Structure formats: C-alpha cells, structure tokens
C-alpha cells in the first residue's frame, strides 16, 4: 500500500513550514504527521546532502508518493532537482509538485515538464553569461579597468623595485606596505610608467 510523504523546507530559522503543510493538506493529500519531514536548510544545498531529506529517502519505498509545494523546495539548481527526481523515480517513488498543478514529475507528462524546466534553466544561465560578457566588453571599450584594483600604486611599485635592487626582502616590503609577498612580487614585475 502506498504511503504519502511531504517534504517542507525553509531557508532560515525565522521562517516556518506551516504554510507548506497547509497547502499540501488543502490540495487533498492526506499526510500523517509522522510522514511530514520539515527542515531548515538553504535550497542551494543539494537535496541528498540535507540530513532531513536523506533520512526521508531512506524511509521511502517503491509505490510511495512525495509531495512538495514548489520545485525550489527540492533545490534551486535545476540539475540537482532533476537528479533528485530521477533518483526517486528509480526507487519507484512518485513526486508531486503543487506549483505545477500537482503533476507527478516521474510520469511521462512530468518528465516533459522537467525537460522544459531544465531547458529554461539552461537558457537563463546562457543569457546571464551572455549579458555578463556583453557588459564586460562594453566596460572595456569604455576604457574601464576590469578586475580587482591594484594593491599598490605605480609610485609604490617603482619604490619597491628600487628597494629590491638594494636587497630589501619580500617580507620586509610586504610588512612595510601592508600587502602580501605575492603583491610585492607582482609589483617587481610591473612595468614602470603604468
């Protein structure tokens, strides 16, 4: 006989899972309190690395149903959500998401929905990369210096180069200028006049 479990997650201790539990009950899923798993953990933590979710997976058997209110309860990364749903489907567990009309994500229709969601997530990632690259090119064309600011000015670099030729150590100069030894080494390599 199949059992129904609910997984409810919030990101911070100030939040509560009460609304999620209520939504699942309102949608007609009768979940015994002992089968409601709640936890407070960031959605960026992969599902299988969450203590509560890992224990839930161990309790579930083929034929069971897992209900979540939204996909982001399983994770914020589309790849992780897909892997989690595939793992559950492989164990014979059906996954229902209320946000998507209660569709079973392990069914043929649910797999199609997941494919579309994965494609959209990939599209969004590609757009973000494209916008970032365009912005960097525009900034570079406008003459803006990209990257982190130099720790030392051109004058300081010239002084460091002179000090090094006189035998002053990297460590002494690093302490004097309040920077790392590698910053002193970079200053030695920096062409003067820049």
* Region for residue 63 given its phi and psi (left: phi exceeds 0; alpha: psi -120 to 50; beta: otherwise): left
Q: CA 20 to CA 10: how far, in whole Å?
A: 9
The strands making up 36-40's β-sheet, listed across from edge to edge, are 36-40, 4-10, 65-68, 94-97, 103-104
- The string of DSSP letters for 89-127 reads HHTT-EEEEGGGTTEETTSHHHHHHHHHHHHHHHHHHHH
Q: Is 62 a catalytic residue?
A: no
State the catalytic residue, choosing from 2, 11, 26, 107. Answer: 11
Does residue 105 contact residue 85 with C-beta atoms inside 8 Å? yes
- CA dist list (Å): 123 to 6, 78, 119, 130: 30, 11, 6, 10
How far is it, in rounded angstroms, from Cα 40 to Cα 15? Answer: 8
Active site residues: 11
């Amino acid at each position: 006989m199949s059992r129904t479990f609910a997984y409810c997650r919030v990101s911070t201790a100030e939040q509560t899972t009460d609304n999620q539990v209520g939504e699942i009950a309102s949608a007609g899923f009768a979940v015994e309190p002992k089968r409601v798993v709640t936890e407070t953990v960031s959605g960026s933590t992969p599902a299988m690395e969450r203590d509560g979710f890992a224990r839930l997976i161990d309790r579930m058997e083929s034929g069971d149903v897992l209900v979540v209110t939204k996909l982001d309860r399983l994770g914020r990364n589309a790849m992780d959500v897909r892997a989690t749903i595939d793992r559950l489907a492989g164990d014979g567990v059906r996954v229902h998401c209320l946000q998507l009309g209660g569709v079973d994500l392990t069914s043929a229709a649910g797999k199609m929905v997941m494919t579309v969601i994965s494609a959209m997530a990939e599209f969004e990632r590609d757009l973000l990369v494209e916008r970032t690259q365009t912005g960097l090119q525009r900034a570079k064309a406008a003459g803006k210096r990209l990257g982190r600011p130099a720790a030392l000015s051109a004058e300081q670099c010239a002084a460091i180069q002179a000090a090094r030729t006189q035998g002053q150590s990297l460590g002494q100069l690093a302490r004097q200028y309040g920077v790392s030894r590698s910053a002193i080494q970079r200053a030695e390599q920096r062409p003067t006049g820049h």
